[in-house]
Amino acid sequence: MRGFTLIELLITIAITVAAATLGIMNLVSHRQERDLTLTTQEIATVIRNAQDRSIAQEEGSRWGVYFENPSSGSDFYELFKGTTYATGTIVSKSVLRSNIQFDVPISNSSSTVIFSPITGLPDASSTIKISLIGKSTSSSTITINSNGEITY
């Protein structure tokens, strides 16, 4: 009977380690892309929620979403009611996942989308862009056009 040589065992282990490493890298990459997709959908849902609440004139008010990209700390967005964004009008706050950042609005700036009552039209067209941190080629753009259509 012939057994395995040390070289054969080392080659087998090296191939197994390489295959496992590639599998793990693909899994991590897939998870990051899934995080990006889920975050895009969550942001679009909050924007649609603000638009629907404005159309219904819920609480007799306009509704909007505020996006903040601070120079330090986590990027976040907030659903608010009223004609302008203010801390007393915030209904909910969502912080972006740790591996995702805003590209638009740019660092150290913010953006606000406010919808008109009854029509649900935004005060202005807006674009929100998010990407994976350290991988700006993996990004997603949400557009709110002047007709109130939300696409991503």
pLDDT along the chain (152 residues), means of 10: 82 91 85 95 98 96 97 96 90 96 96 96 97 92 97 96
User: Looking at the domain assignment, is residue 1 inside a domain?
Assistant: no
Residue 104 is predicted with a pLDDT of 97
User: Looking at the domain assignment, is residue 111 inside a domain?
Assistant: yes
Residue 99 lies in domain: 39-151
DSSP structure string for the chain: -----HHHHHHHHHHHHHHHHHHHHHHHHHHHHHHHHHHHHHHHHHHHHHHHHHHTTGGGS-EEEEEEE-SSS--EEEEEESSS--GGGEEEEEEPPTTEEEEESPTTEEEEEEEPTTT--BSS-EEEEEEETTEEEEEEEEEE-TT--EE-
Domain containing residue 86: CATH number: 3.55.40.10
User: Looking at the domain assignment, is residue 4 inside a domain?
Assistant: no
User: Looking at the domain assignment, is residue 134 inside a domain?
Assistant: yes
Q: Residue 133 and residue 146: Cα distance in Å, rounded?
A: 30
User: Looking at the domain assignment, is residue 69 inside a domain?
Assistant: yes
User: Looking at the domain assignment, is residue 94 inside a domain?
Assistant: yes
If one counts the domains in the chain, the total is: 1
Residue 88 is predicted with a pLDDT of 79
User: Looking at the domain assignment, is residue 97 inside a domain?
Assistant: yes
Residue 1 is predicted with a pLDDT of 55
Residue 29 is predicted with a pLDDT of 81
Q: Please, are residues 115 and 148 in contact by the beta-carbon 8 Å criterion?
A: yes
User: Looking at the domain assignment, is residue 144 inside a domain?
Assistant: yes
